[in-house]
Amino acid sequence: EVQLVESGGGLVRAGGSLRLACAASGFTFDDYTIGWFRQAPGKEREGVSCISTSDGSTYHADSVKGRFTISSDNAKNTVYLQMNSLKPEDTAVYYCAQGPAQAIGVMYPYEYDYWGQGTHVTVSS
């Protein structure tokens, strides 16, 4: 059974940092794209960053480029999202998701097959 479990969310002041983790199990980790999406109240789910667990290539949306970094520890079957210089508009529920290897790049939710339960990130001004 595929499982994705997010952790690391919380409340932080603007300009602060958080590191999210996505622990994966139930599949061959180094053969997929793992992505981070977020959804703010009343808004559509937005792709933030993704990483190919086979070759380490990454993608970051323009809204987070230069502030967020995605990385993967294949020995631990875990993907991380380091979020720096956080802004109030980064407030959302953050989800990690598993997609096929070819999903690396611009992120569309329909390309991803399995999702975690989400972790809340709140950035105060």
Across the chain, mean pLDDT equals 96
At 101 the pLDDT is 86
Helix (H, G, I), strand (E, B) or coil at 81: strand
What the block records as the tokens of 107 is: 């992120």
pLDDT band (50, 70, 90) for residue 1: very high
pLDDT digit string, tens, across residues 26-75: 998 888 999 999 999 999 999 999 999 999 999 999 999 999 999 999 99
Note the Cα 34 to chain centre separation in Å: 7
